[in-house]
Amino acid sequence: MLSGNSLSNRDWILEAQAQLKTPFQSTFVLDYGHWATGQPNIDLSAELPKLARAAGNLEPYGLFAKSIGTVLAVQAIEQNLIKPAFLLFCGIPLGYILSDYPQFGAVLARANLPLTFIHNQNDPVASSSDASQYLQSHLTPDQYRFIETPGNTHDYKDYTLLKTELAALLG
């Protein structure tokens, strides 16, 4: 489980872990190093080997990620550090993707994994319309599922929906 950048996301991902744990044998939350040091932003290059080590102990596994955690996951896939069975992403950070990681969509297209995106309609990081248009320009309709949820925050706390979508990805 990979959360967003800010320290407040740590509490959210731990709550998500508690809420979503029941269908899984185990779950793992990656604790980002910058939370302990007080740095404002994640160091993706420092988190990639931590994610690879954690994923190496889980087989098979899926990835649930929010915001910058989606970028971390896709970079790890691109570098062949992880091989998840599926991806459930919430609130992709479209501005960051466009400016700092433009191959995000192409990597996902090549990975060809079961993939669901949940995105709030008016998420301040990126609207669901913009996120959907980006995904449509990089993925074919059969490669992913996009769920627009009501909301004008970057919070994803509909645990019933998250459980339902995780169950669908698990088959």
pTM of the complete model: 0.96
pLDDT digits (tens, 9 = 90+) for 31-75: 999 999 999 999 999 999 999 999 987 878 899 999 999 999 999
Could you give the C-alpha distances from 65 to 3, 116, in angstroms and in order? Answer: 6, 11
Is residue 159 within 8 Å of residue 16, measured between CB atoms? yes
pLDDT at 32: 97
Phi, psi for 3 (deg, rounded to 5):
-95, -170
pLDDT digits (tens, 9 = 90+) for 139-170: 999 999 999 999 999 999 999 999 999 999 98
Q: Which fold has domain 8-170?
A: Rossmann fold (3.40.50)
**87 bridge partner residues:** 63, 115
Tell me the average pLDDT across 22-29. 76
Write out the H or E segment, with its range, that includes residue 135: helix 128-138
CA 159, chain centre distance (Å): 15
pLDDT at 20: 87
- Grouping H, G, I as helix, E, B as strand and the rest as coil, residue 44 is helix
DSSP 91-116: S--HHHHHHH-TTHHHHHHHH---EE
Taking residue 27's Cβ as centre, other Cβ atoms within 10 Å add up to 17
Does the structure show a pLDDT above 70 at 24? Answer: no
**Going by C-beta distance under 8 Å and a sequence separation of 6 or more, which residues neighbour residue 135?**
105, 117, 144, 146
Does the structure show a pLDDT above 70 at 23? Answer: no
Is residue 118 within 8 Å of residue 165, measured between CB atoms? yes
pLDDT at 78: 98
